[in-house]
């Protein structure tokens, strides 16, 4: 039986909890550029995304020179 990895698939997901990671992956958001096309409200509506993830995501966006929509 193959073990499924629970580690982030790339640096974009590093520091996020598994539910938040899955929420972003399921929404097709896998880069700061794609995240920047969404509002905070849209992100918080994703199943598994909590308010504590927003500051982490903002830091990732800022590091890429981007912001939420």
DSSP sequence for the chain: -PPPP-S-SSGGGTTS-HHHHHHHHHTT--SHHHHTTS-HHHHHTSTT--TTHHHHHHHHHHHTT----
Structure token pair of residue 50: 């909590």
Structure confidence at residue 1 (pLDDT) = 53
Q: Which residue has the higher pLDDT, 32 or 5?
A: 32
Structure confidence at residue 3 (pLDDT) = 47
**pTM, to two decimals:** 0.80
Band (pLDDT 50/70/90 cuts) for residue 4 is very low
Q: Is the dihedral of CA 34, 36, 42, 44 positive or negative?
A: positive
Structure confidence at residue 10 (pLDDT) = 67
């Amino acid at each position: 039986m193959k073990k499924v990895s629970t580690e982030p698939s790339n640096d974009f997901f590093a520091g996020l909890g598994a539910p938040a990671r899955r929420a972003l992956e399921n929404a097709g958001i896998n880069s700061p550029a794609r995240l920047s096309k969404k509002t905070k409200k849209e992100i918080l509506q994703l199943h598994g995304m909590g308010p504590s993830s927003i500051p982490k995501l903002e830091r990732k966006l800022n590091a890429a020179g981007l912001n939420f929509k």
